Amino acid sequence: MEKAFNYRFYPTPEQEGLLRRTLGCVRLVYNRALQERTQAWYERQERVSYGQTSFLLTGWKKQEELDFLNEVSSVPLQQGLRHLQSAFTHFFAGRAKYPNFKKKHQGGTAEFTKSAFKFKDNQLYLAKCVQPLPIRWSRQIPPGVQPSSVTVKLHPSGRWHISIRFNDPTLKPLPPNDKAVGIDLGLSSLVITSDEEKIRNPKHLKKHYRKLRRLQKSLSRKQKGSNNRYKARVKLAKAHLKITDTRKDHLHKLTTQLIRENQTIVVEDLAVKNMVKNRKLAQSISDASWGELIRQLEYKCQWYGRNLIKIDRWFPSSKRCSNCGYTLETMPLNIREWDCPKCGRHHDRDINASKNILAAGLAVSVCGASVRPESSKSVKATAMKQKPKL
């Protein structure tokens, strides 16, 4: 099973200089290739392939003003072109918007494949680096395992991270059990289970909102290009990073607990990208990070031999009585509790929804019913109509 461990490392001044130059070259090659592909389409109605951009990269390295491209490893530059090709593939398939130009203040990433690094004696050596990277090994890679790729990332706050990807032969499924649970995702309570358990939503963004507002206001008052603006930007990036770290930590602990306790987990196939278009709930939905929660459940179920079932997002889980099956015509969001007009059962809206989700998921697993696809023809047509940015 393929896994990736993320570590923080503290490069020496020489290593940091080389890595920053590498990130800058990757960004330059990516932006130039994106500009060439965009101009080719607007001027000549031609599509430029990955092979053509790779040929252009060879020519750029021979130019005198771009001679510094030869000072860094060529592998991250080629990987940048492959990532651009993947971005265009997703765009033409209607899964993403048109690729954007990379900016320096966003930090950047550089991917190294097997030919550009060496892993020996639990030490990692990157191409062009004489000394191993001083990585803080929070957890060890299984002995005898060789990484397949390494990705170096610089966060806007100035923090360095490295992601090591490998195949883990030691990963074993958890002991099976007979417990199944349905999960309804919410805002006041992040997770509501069919066992009538409610897990509160920490609301990480709301806790730090006043601090973020103060730092953002301080940044807007600084003169562009000044050193004080750079300092204010770093402070703001660190505040955002703290929120991201606490949110991920909570989601990992929550999903791991659900995986360990349950053999079958049933969730709704939510369209989070469409839900955040609601201006009044967009911030709360983004802070809850439902998409990340479901993503973690998916790969952890694969790791540990659990079953994850997704039901149709249009299934009336909230307005359907879990006791007799009676379905109401409408149910506004402000109604949190209701009584079934047919059987008289009193329902908590979220707990009733989680019970219905579990019942529908078990029916899906038995009958083999399919889940509605995430994308439709209308969505793909809308994506194809998007215009590239010049």
Whole-angstrom distance, CA of residue 126 vs CA of residue 260: 37
Q: Out of 184, 292, 312, 339, pick the active-site residue.
A: 184
- Give whole-number Cα distances, 7 to 138, 161, 282, 344, in Å: 7, 6, 31, 55
Q: Out of 111, 268, 287, 312, pick the active-site residue.
A: 268
Check if 168 is active-site. no
Cα 172 off chain centre by: 25
Check if 184 is active-site. yes
Buried b (16+ CB within 10 A) or exposed e, 75-110: bbbbbbbeebbebbeebeebeeeebeebeeeebbbb
Q: Out of 168, 197, 292, 350, pick the active-site residue.
A: 350
Whole-angstrom distance, CA of residue 298 vs CA of residue 303: 9
DSSP states along 27-57: HHHHHHHHHHHHHHHHHH-----HHHHHHHH
Phi, psi of 321, deg, nearest 5: -70, 125
Cα 18 off chain centre by: 28
Could you tell me if 285 and 187 are in contact, meaning their C-beta atoms sit under 8 angstroms apart?
yes
Strand partners, 86: none
Check if 178 is active-site. no
Catalytic residues: 184, 268, 350
